[in-house]
Structure 1
Amino acid sequence: MTLEIVDPALDPAPAGWGELVEGRPATWDYGLLRAFARGAQAPLRVAVVRREGRPVAMLSASLRGFPPRRGRYVGFAAPPRALGLLDVHAPGSRSQKGWWYEPGDGGMDALRTAVRGLRRSLGPGWRGVVWREVTPGERLPSRSWLSRPTSPLATLHTPWDDLAGWYATLPPGRAGTLRSQARRLAADKGLAVAAGGAAGLVTPAEAAELKARNDLKHRGRLLPAAPLPLPYVAGLVGHDHVKAITYRADGRLIGLCLILDHAEWPIFHSWGALPVEAGGRRHLYFDAYVRMIGWAIAGGKKGLILGKGQPAIKQELGAELVPSHVALAAA
């Protein structure tokens, strides 16, 4: 087996990267990985293991040195060399795993090779790995020291012919409320709603502003994360496989839903909206769910990955909550 480790902020894509991530969401596009790496709070590395020239395992990991670097962008800084953890995650999306391997023991051996090779490249102080979005019972390449539950991942199957089929599965009160909200928004003459490719509906600056508002509202106080920078958001909304639902009042963007398109399971990527006191509208968040679900049904998707956060709301909308854990393991 051979191992290739790259720094997306500086290095060209690994050989055959396009083939490796074919069919995966837009966040794995190498141009977006580069923008993410340059605007992250910790250096990013991608490791690819090949057997006879064919990729059999891959992982992406942020290099979390001590003390942690949060609230500012890493840029082109070299990774800390003394002590740290490998934080394995999917860049730009909490609804995906940051690793992949070919099924079977050979694939797990390849993933283990990736972890150990990345750790050796950093030095003896990098002895632990944080694995995010681990499903219960899932195998990891090394023994887990500690495992804790995190917010579950919400998924919604969409087998219906139209929205009426979905409404019929909801509690009567919720279905009636959603229909009533839709009627009120439709009657709002100052509100314009559009859906389609993100590039044709929203500018990067508009998207970055709304996303930053949402990110800043929900970030932690102890170790606050900086909002994703404009170059990353520009790459995201400009990608062919990113869809948007936009809400405008007198031309001003007041609500934005971004979706990572996929042939079978699109991902609800992010939501941002102005508060009512700043010119926004009530109930846009729920209206975006209705429109997103209608879009998935019309497109013949198997379902939607509604992501993490707000689990009670998503469950009431019919989603299944898939348990998720974060695990600390040996490198």
Structure 2
Amino acid sequence: MTASSSIDIKQLQGFIPFDYLTTACVNDLASQFRAHQLEKGKVLFKRGSEDPECHFLINGEVDLADEDFNINKIVSGSDDNYLALDNSSQIHRTSAITTTPCQLYSINRDYLDLVTTWSQLSEDLEEQDPDFDDPEGLDWMDALLRSPLFAQIPAANIQKLLVRFTEREVTIGEVIVKENDHGEDFYVIKDGRAVVTQGDGHKEKTVAAIQTGDCFGEDALIAESTRNATVTMASNGSLMVLGKQDFDELLKQPTIKSITMEELHIQMDEGDSGTVLIDVRRPQEFRHDRLKGSDNVPLNHLREKLKTMNHDFHYVVCCDGGRRSEVAAYIMTESGFNAVCLTR
């Protein structure tokens, strides 16, 4: 849908959820609205019908009739007109009939849900990092170069990386990677916002909000497995894309370091109290075959666990085949931890 010059941003901000969204979010959404007129006596939607759109009454009056024919009159500009008509229910609980000529703004509910979800998740991140939602202070290249991950990469590799990235334009609602699909690319958000979800249907869970400078897609490339989450754009924008071969050569190989069992024993025998051994397998595997002195931090819980882990320790990560520990070591290095893989 093309941007509509007839959308009044100030009118939108009189409705929930636009009253608490950032100006950037509202501007992104404005381009997705359609402004339209209905004459008196027209049906906007019927009770029980499925509707992909949310409708906001800008001018006029609408009657909402429930199954018992009780009428709730909605008048533009009144205190009761602060939500989408029928409170944005996808399966309408009422029928909407215009009782005067009306002007409405309508938008795809999935787009609206993406942006509001990103906004709510980002509130927590903004408390931790005041610059999180500051567009003036965000530059994808600057964010990458300042990350702990890039401190591990030789300068020559960084120069090659910047040359080998390719740019891709993306739009709001576009699915970039899908959970359980095979992936061949690593992504950095050059401009825009996205949400990360896991699960499907009623089991879908939103787990993160990401924006300019954030990267994703590395887990599947390191483990040579399927994607563990879905990433959907919550705005228009652009991505910088790096293929698997370049990722392996320039990012994975210089980042993931290893230690042998013999070297670990020497460290422990010398009384190195700063070394922590963590096993990233599932609890059932860990109980069956655990290394003495190791703690279990399953890979799927690692990112959450990082919030309580101490950066002063040296972490040795183990599993069985090695792929999961490589992913874990990469994630930890990316977050500023000193982590190596144990080769068994």
TM-score of the superposition, structure 2-length normalised?
Answer: 0.26
Larger radius of gyration: 2
Larger RCO: Structure 1 or Structure 2 (Cα < 8 Å, ≥ 6 residues apart)? 1
